[in-house]
Amino acid sequence: MHSYGAVAHSWQWVAQEKSETAMQAALLAGYILCDAAKTIYHNHQIIETAKEELKQRLQGHTYQCLIPSDIMLHISKAK
């Protein structure tokens, strides 16, 4: 249960998620995402179907990143 007005993924929302139920939900979400990744990895047709669907949805348009090409993103290196 979140306080009134707490926006998803805000620090207020995150601070309220220290319960056992919240931890179990987060773990379940992780398992589901992992299973989805394994399914896609082992069935390349899913990727091809998704690419075709995206092509149809774009109707000839192309995606253009809103981040200017001269902006270098900060990537921290694991130690």
| CA dist list (Å): 65 to 50, 53, 62, 70 | 20, 20, 10, 12
Supply φ then ψ for residue 23, to 5 degrees.
Answer: -65, -45
CA dist., res. 22 & res. 6, Å (int): 16
Confirm if 12 and 3 have CB atoms less than 8 A apart. yes
Kindly report whether the global pTM for this prediction surpasses the value 0.75.
Answer: no
Q: At residue 79, does pLDDT exceed 90? A: no
pLDDT in tens, 22-59: 788 889 999 999 999 999 999 999 999 999 999 999 99
Per-residue pLDDT band at 1 (split at 50, 70, 90)? low
What pLDDT was estimated at residue 2? 60
